[in-house]
Amino acid sequence: MSDAATAVLVVEDEPQIRRFVCNALRDDQCQALEAGTATGGLEIVAREPVHLVILDLGLPDRDGISFIRDLRNWSAVPILVLSARSAEQDKIEALDTGADDYLTKPFGVGELRARVRALLRRQQQRVDAGAVHVFGDVAVDLSRRIVTRAGAEVHLTQREYHLLAVMVANTGRVMTQRYLMNQVWGPGHSQDSHYLRVYVGRLRQKLEADPTQPHYILTETGIGYRFQP
């Protein structure tokens, strides 16, 4: 079900359990990202394309429920909660705040993996493994992080590539400036949309035949942008 291009973030403070969970996921060919704190976890979701979050409710720096609430303000990524607390009220609270599943410790690694597969199956905007997105003479290889134009490789900086990756993942859809800012610069920069204008300009410069009249990265005035091959 899951593939190499699927990124799962594990937010868990105990290194031992974190290792354990990450290894279980890697067997399923997921890319496992790790965070030891709630704050660190939010930053990663904001910066990287994450397809599933596995969250331990007992974090040192912050309440797990408030983590869910915070994340749900700007992301719809599925959340699987791990918790030592088995009381019904805890489960209800987590699920109603926005979690998609709740697994009580101790749990079997097989069940965890099956539930992860079930959640990822539901996830719509998953990117196919090794899928190379081609438009015109440009090709974007998301799994290898390589962009070529007319066969020659185009060098993109980290921000440029991240922005392009978000756009490719949302092909055909209108993306608000707010959404793009959250995805690429993280929450807290929703206002600074001039970053976006600069970087969209640079991408057009590198990818469009005529940067003055873009054919791929289209402007939706007053809203944001749309990527259309």
Q: Of 3-11, 35-43, 89-97, 204-212, which segment contacts a second copy by CB under 8 A?
A: 89-97
Assess 160 for contact with a second copy (CB under 8 A): no
CB of 36 to a second copy, least distance (A): 26
CA distances from 62 to 15, 16, 56, 74, 127 (A): 17, 20, 11, 18, 31
Binding site for DNA (CB under 7 A): 155, 157-160, 177, 185, 192-195, 197-198, 200-201, 204-205, 211-212, 219-224
CB of 118 to a second copy, least distance (A): 5
Assess 88 for contact with a second copy (CB under 8 A): yes
Assess 114 for contact with a second copy (CB under 8 A): yes
Assess 84 for contact with a second copy (CB under 8 A): no
Which parts of this chain interact with a second copy (CB under 8 A)?
1, 76, 78, 88-89, 91-92, 95-96, 99-101, 108, 110-111, 113-115, 117-118, 122, 124-126, 129, 143-146, 157-158, 172-174, 220-223, 226
